[in-house]
Amino acid sequence: MNKFGSTDSLKSNSVLIIGASRGIGKALAFEFAKNGWDLFLASRDIENLKTIKSEIESKYSVDCIITVLDVTSDKDYELVFSKIRNQNHNLDLIILNSGISKPINLSEIDENIIRQIFETNFFGIVRGMKFAVDYFKIIGKGHIATVSSLADARGFPGSSAYVASKTAISHFTEAASIELRKSNINVTLIKPGFVITDMTANHKFTMPFLISAEKSAKIIYSGIKKGKKQIYFPLPTAIGSYLIKILPGFIFRYLTKFWKGENG
């Protein structure tokens, strides 16, 4: 039996990647394909997925199945997993990757924007976790990875809803990792720092130790292959995040006087 549970050395491993049409999700699709994994790619942007599928199949000898998925829709998730069950081999890994970020001015709270962020960043992943757990319980084993953020360390001004949603998914995933052990389901929490994506391209503040989505995908793949429970990167940002997290509240509040965030 190999690292990911396959008993057939001739059988490729299979991964479902949610949010695979751009950013980290897209980079992960290419990284897993390069390493011989068959792919199930899901996203709202089917046109981007068609392009990705074409590029992958022209470079690598892997299966690549694409499907539309809105992470806020139970029906979409049901259709995706129904499509997966109709295939000839089981999934070994499901990567739940969905996230949006919008600046929030708390002097004029827009509840609709906050709900939209949580529906995608938190409930979108929770919904995926529900279907993934049900799927792997039937098989008897599996591996789930969720993508959170090193921004979960504190309540950064200007990013309150984004930070809150990522903090929620980090704690949710940590609990799931412990609870699902008895079901033979491994759970990995992925916490990137600043990564070059469409989302970070709109940020107005300085992003230290910014790395490419492709480098991020290599780090994530390596961490999953090693069976890590948490994957966080880049190291300088991870260390900074930890130090900020353990700061006393009064020091953190003092330092935020110099913070130039989304609304800075």
How many angstroms separate the CA atoms of 55 and 69, rounded?
20
Pick from 172, 183, 175: nearest CA to 143? 183
Say how many residues make up the chain. 264
How many angstroms separate the CA atoms of 198 and 193, rounded?
15
The per-residue pLDDT for 250 is 86
9 domain residue, yes or no? no
DSSP 35: T
The per-residue pLDDT for 199 is 65
Q: Is the pLDDT of residue 85 over 50?
A: yes
Average pLDDT value for residue range 188-205: 77
* Contact assessment for residue 102 and residue 162, using Cβ atoms and an 8 Å cutoff: yes
| Tokens (6 digits) for 18 | 């949610």
Task: Tell me the pLDDT tens digit for each residue of 209-251.
Answer: 889 999 999 999 999 999 999 999 999 999 999 998 998 988 8
Name the band, by pLDDT with cuts 50, 70 and 90, for residue 5. Answer: very low
148 domain residue, yes or no? yes
How many angstroms separate the CA atoms of 120 and 158, rounded?
18
| pTM reported for the whole predicted model | 0.88
Q: Is the pLDDT of residue 260 over 60?
A: no
Query: SS3 for 164-218, per residue?
Result: HHHHHHHHHHHHHHHHHHHHCEEEEEEEECCEECCCHHHCCCCCCCCEEHHHHHH
263 domain residue, yes or no? no
4 domain residue, yes or no? no
* Contact assessment for residue 152 and residue 163, using Cβ atoms and an 8 Å cutoff: yes
Question: Above pLDDT 90, what percent of the chain?
Answer: 71
Number of domains in the chain: 1
Residues 6+ apart with CB under 8 A from 116: 100, 102
157 domain residue, yes or no? yes
**Rounded-to-10 torsion of CA 30, 52, 72, 132:** -40
* Contact assessment for residue 226 and residue 185, using Cβ atoms and an 8 Å cutoff: no
CATH, residue 228: 3.40.50.720
Name the band, by pLDDT with cuts 50, 70 and 90, for residue 202. Answer: low
- Whole domain around residue 62: which residue ranges? 14-258
Q: Is the pLDDT of residue 180 over 70?
A: yes
How many angstroms separate the CA atoms of 106 and 59, rounded?
48
* Contact assessment for residue 188 and residue 132, using Cβ atoms and an 8 Å cutoff: no
* Contact assessment for residue 33 and residue 39, using Cβ atoms and an 8 Å cutoff: yes
The per-residue pLDDT for 9 is 39
248 domain residue, yes or no? yes
27 domain residue, yes or no? yes
